[in-house]
Every structure is written in C-alpha cells, then in structure tokens.
Structure 1
Amino acid sequence: MTSTFLAATLFGPEDLRMVEHPLPKLTEGMVRIRFGAGGICGSDMHYFRHARTGDFVVKSPLVLGHEISGEVVEIAGSAASLKIGDRVAVNPSRWCGHCGACREGRQNLCENIYFMGSASKTPHMQGGFANYFDAVPAQCVKIPDHVSYQAAALAEPLAVCLHAVARAGNIEGKRGIIFGAGPIGLLTMLAARRAGMADITVADIAPAPLAFATRLGASHVENVSSGEEGLKAQAAARPYDVAFEVSGTAAGLASAIGIVRRGGVVVQIGNLPGGQIPTPSNAVMAKEIDLRGSFRFGLEFMTAVELIGAGSVDVLSLVTAERPLSTAPDALRLALDRSQSVKVVLTAN
C-alpha cells in the first residue's frame, strides 16, 4: 500500500487544496477504506465558502466529506462483520454507545459523538474526501454488488431525510410544504412521499431546482423569490399540516412558521447561520405550532442503505454531475452553482 494519501483539505474560506498526507499506521480496532465515491453536501459548501457551517467553525485544517463509500483494504485487529474487499457505505457518525442519549436510542444526540468532516469538535474529525480514510467497523455497512459506490454514498443524506420525516410524526394523508429544493429538500420530498404524505409543495427562490422538484414528483412548486402570495393563497384554500425548513435561512424558518396551519408541525432541518436568529415565537405560541429540530440521523442510516439496495428510493436521480476526487476544489465550485447543479458526486480517480 502507498505511504501517502491525497485529501481535499480546507485551510480557510475558499482555500481547499488537494494535499498529500503521510498515511499513518492503522490504529488497532479500525479499518482502512479506499475511496469509492463521495457526495458534496450543503455543509461542505458552507465550510468551503466560509470555513464554518452554523456554529461549527474550522479552527485547524479539515479534510471535508461525510457522504462516503468505498472498499475495505485493511483491518487492524478484529472486525468479525467485515473482510478485505468488502464494499461499504460509511456512516460518518461515531457514537459512544453508553451516554444517556445513546441509551435512549437517540444516537444522533450522543454526548461524545465524532462526525467525519466536521468542525463540531476540536480536534476536528477528518472527513472522507481522501483516497484512503479510516473508520471503526460499526460505521461500515456492506452494500450489495448491484449498488454503485455513488448510490451508497448518498445513504447519508437519505438518512438525514428519513430522520426528519420521522420527527414530523404520522404524516400519512397529510399536506406538506418543503422550503428549499436542494438535495436535502428533494430527498425529504421522496421520503415524505414514501411515508404517505398525500400532497407536497416545494418552495424555493431559484427556478432550476424547482424544475427538478417537478420532475421528481412534487405536487406543486412555488417560486418565492418575489414574495409568498401564491403560497398564502394555497394555504388559505388548503392549509399545510407540516412544513419542513431545509433552506437554512431565517426567512425560510419564519415562512414555515407563518404558513403552517394552527396546530401544525414545523421541522427544522436546515442549519441556520451562527449566532442568535430572530424567530416569530409569538406565532409558535398563538398557533400552538410544534417546532421540532431534526439533527443528522440515528439508525436510519441502516434503513437508507436497505432502501437504496431494494430500489425503493432512487437517490441517483438527484445526481447532475460526477467529478474525480482530485478535482474536489473545482467540484465544490460547480456544486455551489444552483443554476447548473443539484447534486455533485466525487468519484475515485
């Protein structure tokens, strides 16, 4: 095996470099994975542009990437469930398994969690946009031969959306609206449809992603770049039971609270800018809205891999471009152009 590895390493805002790092000896109890594919997430784009996402600030060089898959090439110690050559989707979450949240079955809220490619803790946990990266066996879920690395990498964002839909409660037969037509918004739409939501509106300020939402089966789309009159008319005629805020903007959250019916549910998935954000709390109170956060995912990762393997959710329908890992900086710039891209996936060189 090579003595070095190449990784997309962030040093500051818009300073992402392909850097050759020494490949360390594999730690006991870990597995080494050769990169197969990686999806570029909205948080990767925020890190790239601002060296932060929400309240998570990059304080030292960070290898990006948490939507990842690949091939097991080395095992240090015992890994009964894995062998060399296994193709795996990699869960970027490393949970402790013994804190209060883990014992309650809410692993996504683990008090000791490390998350790949994230600045949520210091030292940062390095990500998987590298031709080799390491994980614990519990992070690795084997994929069937017919599932591509590209599809397996998108188990992570699908898991995010499955968790968000679960947070909304029973949505069968209900009417919903999604603010934000990026990959997470579109996958939330597919997950909500699978959970029985009868009518789904997708709202955004850009025409290209809205056209994509229509192709994927949105009941209605609304361009709110010039205002929300159309949405308000729809809501007056047929109120929305559930709103998913995926845009990651204060305006999107305010719109979700304002548009959902009295006694409705708002699920916040989007990571808003850091600091204090004004929220129309009186509307939450007066309308008795259930405002629910949705953070990452727990065991939904396994479900996501199963759904992709069964062909129940076509995650590849979102992919608009594939680029080699070695061109990650340019691929990030492409992903930021919403007129050209919905989902950009990095592939092995």
Structure 2
Amino acid sequence: MTPVTAMKAVVVHGAGDVRIDERPRPEPGRDEVLLALEWGGICGSDVAYWKKGASGTAALAHPLVLGHEFAGRVAALGSGVTGLSEGQPVTVHPAQLIGEPPERLAGRTNLHARVRYFGSAALTPHTDGGFSEFRTVRAAQVRPLPEGVDTESGALAEPLAVALHAVGRVPALRGRTVLVNGAGPIGSLVVAAAKHRGAETVCAADLSSASLAVARRMGADTTVDISRGEELPHDVDVVFEASGAPAALGAVLRATARGGTVVQVGNLPGTAEPAVLGDLVTREITWIGSYRFVDEIDDALTALRDGLDVSPVISHRFPLEQAEQALTIAADPASASSKVMLRLGGGAPVTA
C-alpha cells in the first residue's frame, strides 16, 4: 500500500479567499501526536478570517489553516508519548502558553498575554488550526473522549468549555433565575451549561425564532422573541449577555435584578458604539467579562459523558471540500444556521 504523504486543508489566504489546499501530511515529533481528524465546528472567528482577513485585532499576514473546534483519532505517536493509543478518539485543548503568566493570573491562564491558539493569526508565524485531514498536536493538549462520546460531539467540547467557563464566573448558580441574551451556538450552550450547573429557570432571548428553537432544545424553560416585540423578563438574578450587541445592553441591564450580575460572553466591538448603561450604576449591577476558558474542556467532556447533549446546536454538516459553502451558511443570518460542522475525514461523505 502506498503511504499517505499529502492531505487536504481549509486555508484562508485573505479576505474572501478560502481554498482547499494540498499540504504535506505531518509527522509527529517527540512528545507529539498525529491526529486523523474527523469533525470540525465553524466558529465566528473562522468566519471573520474568511470575510475580513482578520478576527478582532488578529490580522492575516500569511495563509492560515482555519479551525480550533475539532476532534478525531490518534493516527501515530511520537517518541516519548505515553497514555494514548492509535485509534483512540480524542479532542484537543487549543491553547499553548508562551512563557509563564504573572502570579496575579494564577489559575487564569486564559488571560495570559501570549498564547498560541489553534486557527489564530494573533502571533506571527500564525498557528494553523485543525480543519485538515491530519494534524500534529502536543500530547499535553490531547484530551481523550470518554466512552460513549463520539467525535462530532467531541469537536464541540471547546465551545461547551467556553460556556462552562462563563457559567463558572458566577459560582453560586444553583436555584437562581437566569437570562441568556443571544441564542447563537455559544448562547445555546450557555443555556445548557446553566441548567447543568443547577439554575432554577433559564430564559433565552434572541431575534431569530430558529435560534430560540435550538435554545429550547438545549434546555431553556422560556424564550423571548425580540423580533416580535416581546420584552425581556424582569428582576433576573444572573444574565449572560451572549449577543455582543451594544444596542442590547440597555434592555439587558434593565432586566437584571438590583444587585444582580451580568456576565459578558459575546464579544463587544473594539470601536465606539452607543449604549445605554445608566442602570449599571443605579441598580448596582456587577458586570463581568468571560473569555475563552482555562481547563473547563475537561469539565465539558465530563458533562458530555454524563449525558449533556450538544447535538441540537448542530444545524448543518458539510464535507471538507465544501468549506466555503459551509462558511457562507454560517455567516448568513437568513440561513437559520446554528453550529455548522465540517466532516474532515474518517467516514462516509456528508451532505448539508
């Protein structure tokens, strides 16, 4: 049998320019693992690199393999790797710290100033992601999937970890009322994470009826369709703002109980935008940010093992070769998409 020496990868070359490139299949070095990848989930940052050539302040300086949500199976082990075996289903923690964070950030490695994150142009050279048929990964970043968790669900351990980190920013959530404003993939996963952590009732709000349907399937007790003029609930203990829309902040703060907490999960713009913030002071609201995650990917895998079902957030599936079509669907609000998945390899062909 002729050995495989090449692979396909989803590579963004600039704004509006994504290609399926052929690249050499990598070989694992010491303390590395070669993964045969099966599933990847498209994130907003992947869409931003494709549409704008940048995600936030991270701009493309050269081509980049997209993707930081992915899972597959161990294909080969480099020297020095123990505790893993060929064929084992795994996902990855996408972050690698550069240097040590300061003592004041102990336990908060997600805030370290220099991090290599799969599928990110934040540093040059960029850090290629996992939207490819194969990828080498440091063994320390590999996370075995629990028994009963398939690789499609395993690829969503990363965004679920983002949701669990957000929920963990409010340690005492059990028995409290929760509002999730913005029911995209992360918002809907926050719904599930809040219920998983014991919230008494969870309300989801969005402009899209399709997104609200997903939120209900993920465990929302009630929903608010803002496009129909429905109003947010009042006196909510904890609000997770997952839309990232400055125009929504006034209503979100008004919905928060006096002395309550707002966790900002959705990325807010880095430019000046009008927003109504008066209630932040007069209602003495605690407003805190939530960024990526620390080690909550391990908690995510435990939750998946224990039965938390992430499949309702999946709206579309495409083969790797149709990555541009998948990105187009993920970027189009009219498509009613939630999480769009790429079949990277390891199985039968997939159609949308």
Distance 1:191 1:211 in 2: 17
Runs of 4+ in 1 over 6 A off after TM superposition: none
Task: Give the structure-1-normalised TM-score.
Answer: 0.90
Is contact 1:101–1:109 with CA below 8 Å preserved after alignment? Answer: no
Q: Does 1:240 align with 2:231?
A: no
* Aligned match of 2:300: 304
* Structure 1 segment 22-101 matched on structure 2, within 5 A: 22-96=24-98, 98-100=100-102
> Deviations 1:225-251 (Å, cap 9, x if unpaired)?
365x622xx31xxx1111111112222
The residue that corresponds to 1:284 in the other structure is 280
Q: Which moved more, 1:143-152 or 1:94-103?
A: 94-103
Distance 1:215 1:302, change over 3 A: closer
Alignment partner, residue 176 of structure 1: 178
1:285 aligned partner, one-letter code: V
> What pairs with 1:317-328 in structure 2 (closer than 5 Å)?
317-328=312-323
Residue 326 of structure 2 is aligned with which of 292, 315, 331?
A: 331
Q: Does 1:230 align with 2:231?
A: yes
The residue type equivalent to 1:223 in the other structure is: D
2:231 alignment partner, SS class: helix
Of residues 1, 4, 7, the one that matches 1:5 is: 7
Deviation at 1:147, TM superposition (A): 1.9
* Corresponding residue of 1:107: 109
Residues 278 and 340 of structure 1, relative CA distance in 2, 3 Å threshold: closer
Spell out, residue by residue over 1:274-330, the C-alpha distance to the aligned partner (whole angstroms, 9 max, x if none). 33444545432332211111111111111111211232x101122222221221111
User: Which amino acid is the alignment partner of residue 346 of structure 1?
Assistant: L
Question: Deviations for 1:139-190, whole angstroms, at most 9, x for unmatched residues?
Answer: 1111145321101101101100000000123122211211111111111001
2:129 corresponds to 1:127: yes
Match of 1:256 in 2: 252
1:156 aligns with 2:158: yes
> Which letter maps to 2:180?
I
Within the candidate set 220, 223, 226, 1:221 is matched to 223
Q: 1:101 to 1:327 in 2, by over 3 A?
A: farther
Q: The residue matched to 2:247 in structure 1 has which SS?
A: helix
User: Per the alignment, in what secondary structure is the counterpart of residue 225 of structure 1?
Assistant: helix
What is the DSSP-based 3-state SS (H/G/I as helix, E as strand, rest coil) of the residue aligned with 2:227? coil
5+ residue gaps, structure 2: 346-352
TM-score normalised over the length of structure 2: 0.90
Instruction: State the Cα deviation string for residues 72-124 of structure 1 (Å, max 9, x = none).
Output: 22232211222332221111111357322697111212233211012222322
Q: Is the 8 A contact 1:29 1:78 kept in 2?
A: yes
The sequence identity of aligned pairs, in percent, is 38
Q: Deviations over 1:174-232 (max 9, x none)?
A: 112111111111110011011111122111111211122233332221122365x622x
Are the aligned partners of 2:147 and 2:305 in contact in 1 as well (CA < 8 Å)?
Answer: no
1:274 is the counterpart of 2:270: yes
- Tell me if structure 2 keeps the 8 A contact 1:55–1:273: no
Question: Residue 349 of structure 2 aligns with which residue?
Answer: none
**What stretches of structure 1 of length at least 5 have no aligned partner?**
none
Give me the whole-angstrom Cα distance separating, in 1, the residues matched to 2:139 and 2:189.
27
Supply the distance in 1 between the matched residues of 2:249 and 2:99 (Cα, whole angstroms).
33
